[in-house]
Structure formats: C-alpha cells, structure tokens
Chains A and B, each alone.
Chain A
Amino acid sequence: MSARDEVMNRIKSALRDAPVAPEIPRNYRRDSHMGAGQRLDLLVDRLVDYKANVFVVPAADASAKLAELLAGSSSIVVPHGLPESWLAAVKNDAGTVRLQVDSPERRLTVEELDAVDAVVTAAAVAVAETGTIMLDGSPSQGRRVISLVPDRHICLLLAQDIVEVLPEAIARLEPTSPQTWISGPSATSDIELERVEGVHGPRTLDVVILN
C-alpha cells in the first residue's frame, strides 16, 4: 500500500467515531467602522511603532517625494508595472540615479538585485489595525525577490487601499497569487526578546501614503 493510502486509512480509522464538524461562529469584526482619516492615522501609528519611515503626501506629489527619498541612491530597481507618473521626477534626475526595471522579459539576477540601493513598489492593500502592507505579485509590485534582496524598500500606497481590519484585506486578495505581507522592516527578537530591526530582509522600510 502506498504511504498516501496508508496515512489516509489511518486517518479514517482514527475518525471511526465520526466526529461532527461544528458550525463555525464568525462573530469577530469583519468590516470597518472607521472613517478614511482614522484608518490612515491608525496605519501610520502602527508602522511608526514598527520603526518604518512613513510619509503622507498628496497623490500629485508622489513623484517629487520619491525623487527626494532617492536623492542619495545611485541605483534602484522597480517592477515593470509601477505607474510611470511616480517615476517622472526620478527620470529627470537621470545621471544621478540608475533605474533598473525588472520585467518578465528581463528578470534581474540576484547579484544585480544585491547591488542596488533600493527598490520601489506599489502595494495591493494595507491593514491599519495590524500595520500590514500586502504585496500580491501584480505588475506594480513585482516578483517577491525584488522587495527582498535590496536593503531598502520604498513602498507607495494609495490611501484608498487602507482597510481597518484583516478580514477586509483578505476579501480583496487573490488567494493563489504569491503574497508577501510586510509589517515593518526585517526584525528579530531572538536575543533576550529585545526587538532589533534589520536582519536578512530590507533593513529600511519607507512607506509613502498617497492621500
């Protein structure tokens, strides 16, 4: 008998008493009560608590803010679907910042990614209560690896994509897309439970919220 059949048989044998699956109560909060302003404030508070750098700017200023944040960087990587308008000011700075685009046609190697200073991505949705930003691999967010290897991740988030509680975000996500949920920069609490930001993932997380 194959291992699969044998394990299945053991399970069925173990459940000989035919336990009945209970009804699942779902009395926890599944929708939002906060206004947009409160959600934004809560998200900022949570992200700052995680030691992320947070900037709230009008949507029209996205490009200028990005250029300002990248002023000291010599090379950055962006996914191919990042909105063009966000990069306008960076492109005008040509010569100071080297821009590399990661796309299905031209996937950057790990070595190339390791050599860049920062990565800029969008986000699918963010949860205010937990301070979590979710990336789902769509063209504006790119492959999982591009937001992992560079030491600095700049994430641009539309204020309308902020929800209050986790269930609201789950409802918006496509389950089978490769997802990365990010709550602050890389961190560890393995030494005397003292939280230290920065281990293997990006040690700096900048979140630009476009209001």
Chain B
Amino acid sequence: MSNTFLGMPSLPVFGSGNLNATEPFPKAARRELANTQLRANLGHATATIRDKRLKVVAELPDWEDMRDSGSAIKDATMANLPALLEQFEANFTVRGGVIHWARDAQEANEIVTALIQATGESEVVKVKSMATQEIGLNEYLQEQGIAAYETDLAELIVQLDHDKPSHILVPAIHKNRSQIREIFLREMVDVDPGLSDDPARLAEAARKHLRKKFLSAKVAVSGANFGLAETGTLTVVESEGNGRMCLTLPETLITVMGIEKLLPSFTDLEVFMQLLPRSSTGERMNPYTSLWTGVTPGDGPQNVHLVMLDNGRTAALADKMGRTALNCIRCSACMNVCPVYERTGGHAYGSTYPGPIGAILSPLMTGITSEENNSLPYASSLCGACYDACPVKINIPEVLVHLRGEDVDSTRGKVKVPTQMDLMMKGAQWAFSSGSHLNLLEKGLPLGKLVAGRNKVIKKLPGIAAGWTQSRDIPAPPSQSFRQWWAKEHKPGSAVGPGTTTEGEQA
C-alpha cells in the first residue's frame, strides 16, 4: 500500500442519501412548531437529559482536561487520516476481517446487499447505526427483497410506525408512552392486547417480539462508534443488549463505518469512553460496550466485514474550517441544549443528522448549494450552548457563521430581483451615511407614536419587518430623537458646554 498521491488534486465529491433537506428549514420548522404534542414530548425529554448530563459531568474533576484530550486526539486523527486508515485496514485484515470501501451511499448499499445475498439469507437484524440510516440502507434492502429488522427499542418504534428518527440517540424522543403503546398494539403481531403504557411493559413487549429473531438470525448489520487504528478493533456502545445480540449470535456481521470514526490508539478509548456516555445519556457508563478485532475463532461471527464509507466526508475534510465537524462522536449533547432543536425537533432538519451538529455536518457533506441545505446554517441563534456542551469541543457556532458566508458567496454574482431586505439595507445605508439624512428621517418619529396608539405599542410592522412583530410587540418610539433634544438644549449662545450637564439629564 502506498502513500503516494495518485492523480491531480480533485474537487470535493459530495455525499448522497438521507443528508438532504427537501424543504427549507424555516418552512419545515414552522410546520413542526405547530405540533404541540411534539413540543411537549421534546421539552420534557431535553430538560431531563440536560439535567442528568450536568450532574454526571460535574462529578469529574478532570472533565475539561478530557475534552482537551478528546479534541486534540480527533484533530490528530484527521491530520493523519490516510496513514491511520491504512494501519487500521492492515490490523483488521490480518485478524480475518474483510474491508470494503464505498465512495457513496449507493456503492455502500450495493456492497452490503451483495454480502447478504452471498449468505443466501433474506433477513437481517440491525443494531442502530447512523451510517446505515444516512445511506438509506433499510429502504434499499427492501427494494432488493431483504428485510432489515431494527432491534434498538427506539428504532423499532420508529420502524413500526413507518416514521423517521428525530434524534440521533433517542430516535423516538418525539413520541410518548401512550403513542408507543398504540404503535405496538397496531403493528406488532402476537402482542398482548392488554398491554399497558408502562415503559417496563413496553420494553418487555419489544423483548418478546425480537427474541426469536435474535436467536435465529444468520446475518447482522451494525455501525461502529470507534475504530482503533493501532489494533484494528471496532467498538459498539449500547444499552439494551440488542447490540451484543447482533454482534455475537449471527454467523455473518457486516459493519458500516464512516472513515472519520477512527481513533489512533487503544489508549484513546479511555478518553472517549468517559466523554461519550456522560455526554449522551447522562450516565457514568452505558450498560454494554462491545469490542471486536476481526474474527475471534470460536467466539462470535466467523464471517466479519467492514464497509468504510466516504459519502461526503472527504468533502467536509476539504473544508479547513468545517473539517472539525468530523470530530463528532454522535453523542447528541448539542441538540439537547439547543433552543432551536428543542422547539422544532429533529425532522425539521431533513437529514439523518439533526440539531446543531446536523446544521453544519449535512451542508458540509452535501455542499452548501445542495437542495435546501443552504438554510440549515441559519437554523441557530448562535447562542453557543452547543459549543459548551460538545465533549470534543467542536466550535459549532463558528462553523455555522462560516457556512452562512459560504452560502452568501455561492449566490454572489447571480442576477436577482432586489428583495425587501436589499431595499431596506439600501435605505439604511442612505440614512446612516450623513447626519442630515438621519435628522430628516427622525422628524417622522411622532408619526410612530401616533401609529402605536394609546397603549404605546406597535403590534404589527409592515413588509419584511412583520416577521419580527409576529411574536412580539415593539414599543412606541419617543417623540423626539437624541439629536433633536441636543439641538434644542444647546442653542447657540447657551452657557451649557462640553463637560457639563444640565440638571436632571445626567447620562
């Protein structure tokens, strides 16, 4: 294997699959905001998880040191990615694993399908995986006549309801217990008709539903949380044991992993396995973590494959400022603290990756000009809570601003009809360019007072400004401006000069 660079530097090749918003975020968000059940469920869930996370993070005296390490390890991984990938490949292969490379979603889907078909099976069990969600594997397999069964409880709920996940960690966060009970009663064959909406009973129903599938499955598909270059080891982090079932019972295991998921050494796991559970579920440690390195004779699947996925990751890597988004370990801490996500939910982002990280990752992977993804960098108040929460210190607000600039640049030079905003800006430019212009405008202030009426508030502004008054009132303007007051108080010949103030008017 050579490190030499073959061919000319290429243009970024963007990703495909479930990464694109098909409608602008503002439009999707408006619809989701109207769903009061969703907002109630989300508000409860994000508040709960935020509190839990803060509590367990506060327990560790070295939390910030760990964030510093995590951030540096990931930066180093990206800087050394070619060498680390080759190292990983060599170690995984020498222990009996088989590696496949996929340029995009389509190629990854084809590889997984061919591997399943080679086993002669038409059913697979799946442990929740962001990468396979991203490439739309389940839908693709269905078209090829292969049934893929999601086994994570939340993924199962979403799959049974023919819905889409709305959160990367708790995909059914938008559904409450009574909705879940209804889905189970409607979609699960052999379900107890007397099923209650107690979470313990619902979990038990899922156990019964999947038990036989697990014990008879011949092929499983998984994602991976980390790939360790030094040893060729893969890691899956989970809670329910469905991951362990998929990773140990079947004869064939097919894992799909983004090329950015590597860590250089086994030791680095000590940092990330402290950062991840506390940031994601607010637990000191998740119930189950599995590690495997290629094939272990006599233990677990003996036919082990790994699909290394690009699908736009190299395009993100090519963006010097945006490549830090690839440091993401999919903990979801950023969405749980995001005021925008808390109100709109994950569906509004239109991609596998919602919330603040999705608002940068999706446009980086697909290109800012793709479909409606150019609205995603604006889906933020830039409050910075996501940066504070991120265990690997991804400066999401900085990348959001950078991508907004990219969006503006991408439309620069295109001839277009001036918008109201353009006209307003032109007007403002005229007004603020000279004192006399501004003075002239300020003569209109009493008019504003008149519009406001007796209760001294303006309820509705015209045109583009109407958006601002949609959910708030604007106080009536004063009857005169500071400039007008100053001119009145400082008539030529008056004794009041600079450095003194008139009584009662101290600034």
Task: Report A's interface with B, CB cutoff 8 A.
Answer: 1-17, 19-30, 46, 50, 104, 107, 110-111, 114, 127, 129-132, 137, 143-145, 148-149, 166-167, 170-171, 173, 175-194, 196, 198-202
Contact = CB atoms under 8 A, between A and B. Distances in A.
Given A20-B79, A175-B233, A180 B177 contact: no
Contacts of A30: 270
Contact of B299 (A14, A114, A137, A181): A137
Interface string B189-233: 000000000011011101100110011000000000000101111
B453 interface: no
Contacts of A21: 75-76, 79-80
A194 B6 CA distance: 53
Residue among B61, B103, B288 having the largest count of chain A Cβ atoms under 10 Å: B288
Contact of A111 (B12, B200, B215): B215
B102 interface: yes
A201 B288 contact: yes
B72 A22 contact: yes
Nearest to B180: A191
B5 interface: yes
A15 B79 contact: yes
Interface stretch (B20-28, B240-248, B344-352): B240-248
Given A111-B215, A181-B285, A188-B203, A11 B10 contact: no
Interface residues of B, number: 104
Contacts of A166: 270, 273-274
Contact of A196 (B41, B66, B203): B203
B179 to A, nearest CB: 10
Contact of A187 (B65, B151, B152, B240): B240
A34 B210 CA distance: 43
Contacts of B249: 110, 145, 148
Contact of A193 (B48, B247, B259): B48
Given A186-B287, A187-B239, A11 B199 contact: no
Nearest to B237: A181
B109 interface: no
Interface stretch (B313-321, B399-407, B484-492): B313-321
Nearest to B215: A110
Contact of A175 (B231, B274, B315): B231
Contacts of B79: 15, 19-22
A104 B153 CA distance: 33
Contacts, number: 262
Contacts of A111: 215
A57 to B, nearest CB: 25
A7 B293 contact: no
- Which DSSP category, helix, strand, loop or mixed, fits chain A's interface? loop
A14 B101 contact: no
A144 B245 CA distance: 10
A184 B288 CA distance: 8
Contacts of A198: 200, 203-204, 207
B479 interface: no
A164 to B, nearest CB: 12
Nearest to A26: B69
Contact of B288 (A6, A29, A130, A182): A182
Contacts of B171: 190
B244 A180 contact: yes
B458 interface: no
Given A183-B286, A189-B170, A199 B76 contact: no
Given A21-B76, A137-B296, A200-B240, A7 B287 contact: no
A180 B288 contact: yes
Contacts of A1: 6-7
Given A24-B76, A144-B244, A183-B285, A14 B203 contact: no
Residue among A177, A184, A200 having the largest count of chain B Cβ atoms under 10 Å: A200
A23 B317 CA distance: 20
A185 B270 CA distance: 22
A14 B80 CA distance: 12
B65 A148 contact: no
A13 B313 CA distance: 12
A143 B177 contact: no
Interface string B123-154: 00000000000000000000000000001111
Interface in B65-99: 65-66, 68-69, 72-73, 75-76, 78-82, 85, 95
A117 B65 CA distance: 44
A8 to B, nearest CB: 6
Contacts of B247: 144
B457 interface: no
A145 B248 contact: yes
B72 A11 contact: no
B45 interface: yes
Given A144-B300, A166-B273, A46 B284 contact: yes
B360 interface: no
B53 to A, nearest CB: 11
B271 interface: yes
B202 A191 contact: yes
A106 to B, nearest CB: 11
29 contacts: A1-B6, A8-B82, A10-B10, A14-B318, A15-B82, A24-B69, A24-B72, A25-B68, A28-B62, A129-B284, A130-B277, A130-B284, A143-B298, A145-B248, A170-B266, A173-B266, A175-B291, A176-B232, A182-B287, A186-B239, A190-B157, A191-B199, A192-B176, A192-B177, A199-B206, A200-B240, A200-B245, A201-B287, A201-B288
Given A12-B82, A131-B284, A199-B203, A7 B299 contact: no
Nearest to A16: B9
Contacts of B5: 9, 12-13
A15 B317 contact: yes
Contact of B291 (A2, A167, A179): A179
Interface in B287-313: 287-293, 296, 298-300, 308, 310
B241 A186 contact: yes
B65 A167 contact: no
Contacts of B180: 191
B255 interface: no
Contacts of A17: 320
Contact of B152 (A183, A190, A193): A190
A187 B287 contact: yes
